[in-house]
Amino acid sequence: MQNKQGNIYMLVFFVGVLFLLIFAGFLFIVGSAVINWVFDEAVPEVSNLGMIGNANMTDIASYTITPLNNIVQAFTWLTGVLYVMLLIASVGFAFLIRDSPNRWLIGFYIGLVIMLILGSILISNIYEDFSSGNDELATRLREHTILSFMVLHSPMIFTIISLISGAIMFSGMREEGL
């Protein structure tokens, strides 16, 4: 007899990982935009401090804050590339679960995927509300072109990932013994 309970946990874990990816993408983009905003405001001020006592703060800032600012400015594409890599890794995770799940788990998986798609619609709508404004944060969010596209189109992307992953997980079924 197969361990049906273990297969349920693996499916819940897989869909849970996808839920975390949706939320992580949202946090990546908002966090990166806020950090970018703070650095754009703070770096010019720190770079123009001049002399404080015997220390030349302008030189110190050019060695410390300016390189860090260059990394922060690269977050616009780094977060997008990281998110795409995590999505590809989630499809690869389906190969680990492929251990001959039971047929009745297909319906359970479809139910979990429907909840995943509804969650991604919710996150996508929340992000669209944030990014469609004219304020400073909205312009920073729109600078993240890759990740903005991925979060706005997450219902379609997660539907495709779920279909591919479901096909991978349930394609290795063996005949169940009575």
Summarised one tens digit per residue, pLDDT across range 51-91 is 777 888 888 888 888 888 888 888 888 888 989 998 898 88
Rounded to 10 degrees, the C-alpha dihedral 75/80/83/85 comes to -110
For residue 124, what are the contacts with CB-CB under 8 A and spacing of at least 6? 151, 152, 153, 154, 155
pLDDT band at 153 (very low <50, low <70, confident <90, very high): very high
Question: What token pair was written down for 121?
Answer: 């619609």
Distance CA 120, CA 155 (A): 5
Q: What is the pTM of this model?
A: 0.77
Distance CA 51, CA 49 (A): 7
Task: Evaluate if residue 149 carries a pLDDT over 60.
Answer: yes
**% of the chain surpassing 90 pLDDT:** 21
pLDDT band at 4 (very low <50, low <70, confident <90, very high): low
* Entry field: residues in the chain: 178
